[in-house]
Amino acid sequence: MVFRVACLGLLYLFASPLQASDYLSLKLEDINGPDWHVRGLSLQLKLDTPSDEYLISVEEIAHPALPSPAQGVQFHCRQGAMAGNQIQCKKGAAGLTVSGIKLHDINLSFNINIDKQLYDIKADSIKLFDGVFSGKLSSNMNRWRLTAAGRGIDLAKLSSRSPALTNLLQGYSFQAKVDLSGEAQGTLGQLSAAGWHLKFKDLSFADKTADYLGEGLNGEWLGDARLKAGNWSGTQRLAVNKGEMLTPFFYLPVSKQAIELSMGFDYQPKANSLALSSVNFSQGDFLSLNGKAVLDLADSLQIQSAEIMSPPLRISPLFTRYLLPVIANPLLENIELAGELAIAFKYLNNTTDISLGINHLYLEQGLYSQDKGTGQFAIYDLNGQLNWADQNAEDSRISWQGGHFFGGITLGPGALPLNITGNRLALVKSAAIPILDGKLQAEQFELTQGAKGPKIRFQGYLTPITMEAISTAIGWPVLSGQLSGMIPGIAYENGVISVEGLALVKVFDGDILIKQLKLEDLFGALPALTANLEMKNIDLETLTRTFAFGKITGKLAGQVDDLRLEDWAPVSFDARFQTPDDDESRHRINQKAVDNISNLGGAGVSGAISRSFLRFFEEFGYDRLGISCRLENGVCTMGGIESSEKGYYLVKGGGIPRIDIMGFNRRTDWSVLVSKLKQISAGGAPVIE
């Protein structure tokens, strides 16, 4: 009403005859409405123009459609009209400051009907943030509507000058060009509805630590919101059709198939609660997730409840596209996957439940090569349900049809009942895992995730596996005997597997005890093994027949201390093998074995037999035999059962005919020695250089 009286007074003055000057100046007091105000209003009217030309100055204007009060408003109307209760300006220019941003050279036009309280104000060519804006404000009695559009806007400059965006994007740097359009409407001082459509191009962003990155993103964000009974509800949709994003948890590449996120929302200001419904996230046929959530906005963003579900997803693209780029583990870079995975996530009352449905999973780590054959590890046709909860999780179960590790060591069909609660995974009850022609019986298994990494405890035993199956699987000559034993405990910590107690290998009618066995980086680029071995009552006739060494009868004992393998090749050890003191079996050795033993020690009687009467004897008697090797830096320091004046005894004769075999090379290149052993095991004679 005050504004109407003021305008009528102005019109009355404008209609009066003026002769003293070409301008009429008028300054009014503040004008106030229920939800708006105008302060420091002044007007200058030019009198000698055919159309009404005037200049309006305002110190401050506040209105619900403005983000903050406008200050320093200057409006110059070059083509206007004032008649009765109607004020018009068909052509004008304005300048003002809003939210600390100075605007100038704005093309502005308006039409105001004071009696009917109708206002139409249009503005365009607003140059701001390297872009151009336009807008229109219409008001009819107590209802108002604002539409706005902009193109070519620099997002970095916009966010730095907008307090709301600065707070929202705090800690991030942004670059992008943006086109936007939107509208808002309301009654008096109340916003009742809004809609927006934003298109972005070449969007790049990063946080201070570069954990969250985006590069070259193109897409759009649109949505709407309406106020009803004091609560807001609406929908929004985000689509990205170009670029890539990286986080510590996943990588999102956008190529031929766009990423889309859509949802409905309900916001209750009094309860500070935001409910998200019909949430859908997808990228073509690679990824599809849907869910809902309720957020508490009282102090800081907190999740009250959430659910996320997925249909069965193909595991291979899920892993290679989204997860592998953020996993810094060479072990996982050459994995092949097939099968499907369904995800179910639920959070309620501060508890979390996750369920993974596995359908026909095929996994192989270490691709097939001509030299190494199959990969290091594989599992075939894995199915089951894995359930995890931070407390009281339901039991899980997985089953498989086959697999292998280290190439030829095969796994038969099996199943495991598990419980995964908190940071602990445990075997629910004992289970048998078929390995080659035997079984690994697992009595206890527990994995705990600690601050320094995972810890594993295992107890069980190995039912007999024939050495024939093992040697064939790993490409050794066919061995006889069995591998079996108790496994009191296996522990894993900081990448090291330690076997507690003794592992017993029954082979060549004797026993091999494995002590202090440790494995490091088992499936990594450089696996390492350390152990101490003790051999008892090995039957030499079975051993030498297996490796085509020649025939030796008797028993053999020995030990290997400080054994270390790297990439499954020996790099150091201290080994000693000899005839046991209590061996009462028959000790015989044939000419082929004499030659092979002699050649391992350097020179000796090899060749001399064929030039003497000894060539008429097929076998010889011996009292004791033995050999030792201390491997360091690729060199084997060799010895025998005892030293002599010029060398050492490899075989000390006994009986008739008697023969002594001497060794003279104290230091031998390990690779040369291995080459000789390979030639012997293949049935050939070693080449002596």
Q: What is the pLDDT of residue 683?
A: 55
Is residue 466 included in any domain, yes or no? no
Q: Which of 128, 149, 173 is the last residue of a domain?
A: 128
pLDDT tens string 448-489: 987 777 888 888 888 888 888 888 887 776 777 777 777 778
**Domain limits at 625?**
508-681
> Left (φ > 0), alpha (ψ -120 to 50) or beta: where does 4 sit?
alpha
Give the E-state strand segments of 602-645 in sequence order: 619-632, 635-639, 642-643
Is residue 10 included in any domain, yes or no? yes
The token pair at 600 is: 């391992």
Q: How many domains does the chain have?
A: 2
Confidence of residue 182 (pLDDT cuts 50, 70, 90): very high
pLDDT: which is higher, 245 or 546: 245
CB 502 within 8 A of CB 485: yes
Q: What is the pLDDT of residue 484?
A: 78
Q: Which of 107, 128, 149 is the last residue of a domain?
A: 128
pLDDT exceeds cutoff 90 at 372: no
Top-confidence range, 74-78, 276-280, 367-371, 637-641: 276-280
Is residue 56 included in any domain, yes or no? yes
Q: Which residues contact 11 (CB under 8 A, 6 or more apart)?
A: 82, 83, 84, 85
pLDDT exceeds cutoff 70 at 371: no
Is residue 84 included in any domain, yes or no? yes
CA 117, CA 336: separation in Å to the nearest integer? 72
pLDDT exceeds cutoff 80 at 685: no
Which of 256-292 are b and which e, b meaning 16 or more Cβ less than 10 Å from the residue's Cβ? eebbbbbbebebeeeeebbbbeebebbbeebbbbbbb
CA 537, CA 527: separation in Å to the nearest integer? 31
Is residue 687 included in any domain, yes or no? no
Q: Length of the chain, please?
A: 689
CB 651 within 8 A of CB 659: yes
Q: What is the pLDDT of residue 161?
A: 67
Q: Which residues contact 316 (CB under 8 A, 6 or more apart)?
A: 336, 337, 338, 339
**What is the overall mean pLDDT for the chain?**
84
Is residue 72 included in any domain, yes or no? yes
The residues pairing with 58 across neighbouring beta strands, listed in sequence order, are 73
Q: Residue 675 phi/psi, 5° resolution?
A: -60, -40
Q: β-strands 259-268, 273-283: how paired?
A: antiparallel
Cβ count within 10 A of residue 153: 21
pLDDT exceeds cutoff 70 at 561: yes
Q: Tell me the C-alpha to C-alpha distance, in Å, between residue 652 and each of 159, 195, 306.
A: 91, 100, 80
pLDDT exceeds cutoff 80 at 671: yes
Q: β-strands 453-466, 569-578: how paired?
A: unpaired
Top-confidence range, 169-178, 236-245, 466-475, 590-599: 236-245
Q: Which of 80, 109, 128 is the last residue of a domain?
A: 128
Q: What is the mean pLDDT of residues 180-189?
A: 90
CA 39, CA 27: separation in Å to the nearest integer? 11
pLDDT exceeds cutoff 60 at 233: yes
CB 181 within 8 A of CB 167: no
Q: What is the pLDDT of residue 127?
A: 85
Cβ count within 10 A of residue 659: 23
Is residue 271 included in any domain, yes or no? no
Confidence of residue 590 (pLDDT cuts 50, 70, 90): confident
Is residue 252 included in any domain, yes or no? no
Q: Which of 306, 243, 239, 304 is nearest to 272 (CA)?
A: 304
pLDDT tens string 23-73: 678 887 788 877 778 898 888 888 777 777 888 899 998 877 677 888 999
CA 597, CA 676: separation in Å to the nearest integer? 11
